[in-house]
Amino acid sequence: MEETLLELLCAPVSHAALRLASSTELGQINRGIQERLIRNRDGSILDVELNGSLLCESEGTCYPIRDGLPFLVPGEAFDWPRNP
């Protein structure tokens, strides 16, 4: 994701800053998905690994990036698995 685009994006509810997940953080997220431990805010279990994620540190939430597009929809957000 381009840095200029990232600077324009914010969390949809709180309008807090977002940042790209590091490769380590993305690995933690994808492990949680593989183990079927992660549900989005709509209650659906995530079952497809992500190729990226935007993190909102103040909310403790993640927003998925699929096919290069960020999904900044509150129901698509999920809790940030900091220590799965």
Tell me the pLDDT tens digit for each residue of 24-69: 999 999 999 999 999 999 999 999 999 999 999 999 999 999 998 9
Query: Is residue 77 pLDDT above 80, yes or no?
Result: yes
pLDDT of 1 reads 58
CA 2/CA 50 separation, integer angstroms: 17
Asked whether the beta carbons of 63 and 53 are under 8 A apart, the reply is yes
- The pTM of this model reads 0.88
CA 49/CA 32 separation, integer angstroms: 9
